[in-house]
Structures are given as structure tokens and as C-alpha cells.
Amino acid sequence: MPDIKRPLVIVTRKLPDVIETRMMELFRARLNLDDQAMDRAALKQAMAEAEVLVPTVTDRIDADILSAAGPNLKLIASFGTGVDHIDLRAAREKRLTVTNTPGVLTDDTADMTMALILAVSRRLVEGERLIRDGEWQGWSPTFMLGHRLKGKRLGIVGMGRIGRALARRARGFGLSIHYHNRRRVREEVEQELEATYWDSLDQMLARTDIVSVNCPRTPATYHLLNARRLKLMKRDAIIVNTSRGEVIDEKAMADLLRQGEIAGAGLDVFENEPAVNPRLLKLPNVVLMPHMGSATIEGRIDMGEKVIINIRAFTDGHVPPDRVIDTEF
């Protein structure tokens, strides 16, 4: 295919080999083979040169970066589901189309959420550390007691794709499903999941044994779980977050965990990642993961394929299937 028909696509991070190979076949692709994150100057340079920019969720595409967009840039095809790293208003003002990769990470993230619920409830990481540190003295009736899941109430904050996938998994463990969402889900979905809807997030937090954060990061959800709301949780409840760290007031959560006001937490995301609150690092009742909820080979390839489909649709003159219009939970 002649280069004149192939858009210049600049990719900000290394992607799976099969995706990069396909991009080289279809586009004039400029890859990031050493996988070093672009600084602001490099991002601005890429904005100035590209016809299509493929950033990831760790690239902050704010108004200042967008101001460097060259006349040929028409599409930002983000490699990721969340779009809180892109200033959508500024992109709209620059007449740029933004796409993402929704849906393909649903099962992977729901799996990780369920894994964290199990890990915290059954104290799996604490037990593993005991063995590695050579401190295990053998079995006893009261050793490393956790909590069973069956019969507990799970409160899901954000009943989107991931929230519903989590609910289906949780029912298999005998958990009772409760949820809070900006909009109530369809009646048939509630019936399938045997889910109880709470219009009041405060009331749900006070009555559930496990709280799972599964809503996106938007201006409306920033510190949605603030200090006041976190204090409503039961003392023996646990909280799990595989969404975005900014949804929880991390400092307040760390204080309540240290004081025993919340029994435990499983966190795959952090408010200022990759920095982690030092208070969390010291707590034995917290399981910490390095933002790996979506980290499966299959998921990353599916994401890349969605990026390619969006680019091809756009450059062929069609509306890309994953054009970002609105964000809600």
C-alpha cells in the first residue's frame, strides 16, 4: 500500500508484538520499542507530527499538550478503557476525535476484583508472607482466621460492564449483590443478578460487608468515597478498588484502616500512582497490586485490535465504533 494512503500513527508505549506488526503493515507506524514513557516535550512533538496518536492511560493529554496538535492530527486512539487522562473538552475544541477500547477488559478486571476480595477476606498475602519469612509454626485452630464469603453482602459502586461481571462471579461464591449507580440498571439485569439497588450510596456503605469500587474516574466521582462516607462502613467490612485511585480519599482510607475502623482493603489502583501512600505500605491488612487488573495477554491484544479497528474506520471516513461521547457510571 503506498504511504500516501497510510496515516502516520505514533504510539507512545510498547504494545504486544502482534499488534505492532499489524500496525506496521497497515499504517506508517512510529513505535516506542524501548517502552520509555514520553515526557511532556516528547508528547508535544508527537502531537505536532502525528495524524493519529495512540496514547495509553498513563499519558496525560491535557489542554497544554493538546495545544501542540499539528494540522494533520485528527484522531487520538487511546489504548485503554478510561479516558480521564485526556482533556475531552480541549480535544473537542481542537476538533479531535477520541476513541478508547471498552469492553475487552471486563472479564480480566472482574477476575482481579474477585481475587482481591478473596485475598483480603482470607488473608492470603499475610499467610504467604509468613511462610516466606520462615515464621510459620504449624496449624492451630485459631491461626490466621479470616472470613467466609458465603452469606456476605457485596456493595458494588458502579454497575457498568465490570460491575455486572463482578456480580455474576460473586453470586457463585454465595454473596448477596447490592449496588449503587447513577442510573438504576434494567429490571431484567437486577432479576438476573438478584441485585438490590440503593439510591443512597451512604446507606449502602453502612449495610454491606464488602465494598467494590467499579466506577470510572470523572469529576463527579473524584473522592466519591471521602472520609465521611468511608466512616459509614462497618468495622468488619473490607474495600476493594480496581477502578481508579482518585475515587477514594486515599489518606482518609489509610487512617481508617490503621485505626481498625475498616477491616481491610485490596487495591490495584492508587491516587498518585505509581506512588503509593507510605501508610498503606505498612499495613498488614492491605493487599496491594501494581495496577495489573487488566494485565492479561489476551486483554492487551484485544485492546490493540480495537485501536486498529478505530483507526481504520476513521481513516476510511466512518465514525469509529468506540468514539468517546460521554462518561458515566
Residue 244: active-site member = yes
For the chain, how long is the longest CA-to-CA vector?
73
- From the list 28, 180, 217, 244, the catalytic residue is 244
Q: Is the Cα torsion angle 32, 218, 308, 41 positive or negative in sign?
A: negative
Q: Please name the residue that has the C-alpha cell 467466609.
A: 148
Q: Which of 132, 143, 172, 178 is nearest to 159 (CA)?
A: 178
- From the list 20, 49, 273, 305, the catalytic residue is 273
CA of residue 298 relative to chain centroid, distance:
17
- From the list 291, 305, 312, 323, the catalytic residue is 291
Residue 298: active-site member = no
In the structure grid, which three cell numbers stand for residue 42, read together? Answer: 516528547
Q: What share of the chain is helix, strand, coil (3-state, %, to 5)?
A: 40, 15, 45
Residue 291: active-site member = yes
Please tell me whether the peptide bond between 141 and the residue prior to it is cis, using omega within 30 degrees of 0: no
In a 3-state reduction of DSSP, which class is residue 261?
coil
In the structure grid, which three cell numbers stand for residue 19, read together? Answer: 499488534
In sequence order, what are the residues at sequence separation of 6 or more whose Cβ sits closer than 8 angstroms to the Cβ of residue 309? 320, 321, 322
**Degrees to nearest 5, angle at CA 11 with 10 and 13:** 150
Residues classed as catalytic? 244, 273, 291
